Amino acid sequence: MARYSIWSLARNALSHHQHWPRQWRSPEPKRHYDVIIVGGGGHGLATAYYLAKEHDITNVAVLEKGWLGGGNTGRNTTIVRSNYLWDESAALYELSLKLWEGLSKDLNYNVMLSQRGVLNLAHSLGDVRAGRRRAEANRLNGIDSVWLEPAGVKKIVSIINTSSTLRYPILGSTWQPRGGVARHDAVAWGYARAADARGVDIIQNCEVTGLCRDTAGRITGVETTRGPIAAGKVGIVAAGHTSVLAAMADIRLPIQSHPLQALVSEPIKRVLDCVVMSGAIHVYVSQSDKGELVIGAGIDGYNSYAQRGSFHVLEHQTAALVELFPIFARLRMMRTWGGIVDTCPDASPILSRTPVPGLYINGGWGTGGFKATPGSGFVFAHTIARDEPHPVNAPFSLDRFVTGALIDEHGAAAVAH
């Protein structure tokens, strides 16, 4: 793999950028792989990369029914943070944030991590109590979270409306300075390029239509739109389609798939240099490097596999945005889009072996899995390679829906990001 550097940039500038090599190969599927990963989003590609890098398992294929990152990875609003409440979640999301901090260097690919800070606003006494509790719990877990009074919020975001006459006035906020945003496409492409360089086959336009098992019930491979492919182990990393894939092995998951949408405004000069989120009035916003406001809110209330949402959700979140930022009232919106998110009852993911030997599931990230991409890939690769969970993902196994040891992160997951 040719390394990206100032020298390769200069060399290619001299030849008018005509000779950059392809970032990854496009091989025909082999007949057999040690591991098949179903789903070429960030989590699937990261899993393949860490299988090769950390466990020396390189006879791996990532099968993607569309194009790389065309699922939620390329559709999300790119917020990265680790300020979750419970110890189990803090360990997982903080592992991810630490990996994010070295990711561009590790992958030799600029994932444009911008640690501009994340505010989670409080608008009621209940919010204030939950926010303070979460900030303290975060600090006990070594996470850089603090509680701010309204004046502290105003100091960070001068254009925000902190008036006490608001219908839902700002009563304070948590603040994580190391949170921020990263470039979603670059994350998929960076992992794909680095995995390919280690021998992983990345196969696009290849939909998995069935899971094959032997008479003892063990996974033996997959059926695809490009024919059957044998495999020793299969990892399902298919986000909104997690339960569809699991059903192919007769596994019924406690997951519901919902549309989640977002929108961007026309580009404007830089006015907002951190991420602002409100779980109570239900909107969040950041400003992209192109100057557009990137705006999101909650899931649509019904189940669907359509990658689009309803108008009233957009109407609600823009009303909430204007209440917080009257300065944005006359902005025009340019684009909206939607993804399909797989939500678990406790708003925490599933990273687990399954009752079917050789079959593993990484899903249920719902509205907030982008931030976990590196850590999720890292621990899921461990789970597949060793056939046992990494200590960080052990609490996120399927068993918890039987034992009742749920990890309720509805508060931290809050406004769907």
Ligand X SMILES: Cc1cc2nc3c(=O)[nH]c(=O)nc-3n(C[C@H](O)[C@H](O)[C@H](O)COP(=O)(O)OP(=O)(O)OC[C@H]3O[C@@H](n4cnc5c(N)ncnc54)[C@H](O)[C@@H]3O)c2cc1C
Residues that bind ligand X (CB under 6 A): 38-44, 63-66, 70-73, 75-79, 207-208, 237-239, 241, 245, 260-262, 296, 339, 341, 365, 367-371, 417
Query: What letters, b where the CB count within 10 A reaches 16 and e where it falls short, cover 249-275?
Result: bebebebbbbbbbbbbbeeeeeebebb
How far apart are CB 281 and ligand X at their closest, in Å?
18
Phi and psi dihedrals of 273, rounded to 5?
-115, 30
DSSP string, 113-156: -B---EEEEE-SHHHHHHHHHHHHHHHHTT---EEE-HHHHHHH
Tokens read off for 15: 């030849």
How far apart are CB 74 and ligand X at their closest, in Å?
7
How far apart are CB 11 and ligand X at their closest, in Å?
33
Distances (CA, A) of 294 to 84, 302, 361: 22, 24, 31
The nearer residue to ligand X, 42 or 374, going by C-beta atoms, is 42
Asked if residue 365 lies in contact with residue 349, where contact means CB atoms within 8 angstroms, the answer is: yes
The nearer residue to ligand X, 365 or 396, going by C-beta atoms, is 365
How far apart are CB 165 and ligand X at their closest, in Å?
31
Tokens read off for 286: 């950041």
DSSP string, 289-325: TTS-EEEEEEE-SS----S---HHHHHHHHHHHHHH-
Tokens read off for 85: 């409440």
How far apart are CB 363 and ligand X at their closest, in Å?
7
The nearer residue to ligand X, 66 or 217, going by C-beta atoms, is 66
How far apart are CB 3 and ligand X at their closest, in Å?
26
Name every residue whose Cβ is closer than 8 Å to that of residue 319 and which is 6 or more positions away in sequence: none
Q: Which of 94, 398, 89, 67 is nearest to 253 (CA)?
A: 398
How far apart are CB 50 and ligand X at their closest, in Å?
14
SS3 helix, strand, coil % of the chain, rounded to 5? 35, 25, 45
How far apart are CB 43 and ligand X at their closest, in Å?
4
How far apart are CB 5 and ligand X at their closest, in Å?
28
The nearer residue to ligand X, 69 or 358, going by C-beta atoms, is 69
Phi and psi dihedrals of 77, rounded to 5?
-100, 15
Name every residue whose Cβ is closer than 8 Å to that of residue 402 and which is 6 or more positions away in sequence: none
The nearer residue to ligand X, 66 or 301, going by C-beta atoms, is 66
Distances (CA, A) of 358 to 35, 211, 231, 233: 9, 11, 9, 5
The nearer residue to ligand X, 331 or 350, going by C-beta atoms, is 350
The nearer residue to ligand X, 171 or 356, going by C-beta atoms, is 356
In 56-117, alpha helices (H):
87-101, 103-107
Q: Which residue is nearest to ligand X (CB)?
A: 41
The nearer residue to ligand X, 295 or 385, going by C-beta atoms, is 295
Distances (CA, A) of 193 to 34, 46, 189, 202, 254: 20, 11, 6, 9, 34
The nearer residue to ligand X, 171 or 415, going by C-beta atoms, is 415
How far apart are CB 345 and ligand X at their closest, in Å?
16
Asked if residue 261 lies in contact with residue 307, where contact means CB atoms within 8 angstroms, the answer is: no
The nearer residue to ligand X, 65 or 123, going by C-beta atoms, is 65
Distances (CA, A) of 300 to 158, 366, 368, 410: 32, 12, 15, 16
How far apart are CB 275 and ligand X at their closest, in Å?
8
The nearer residue to ligand X, 141 or 286, going by C-beta atoms, is 286
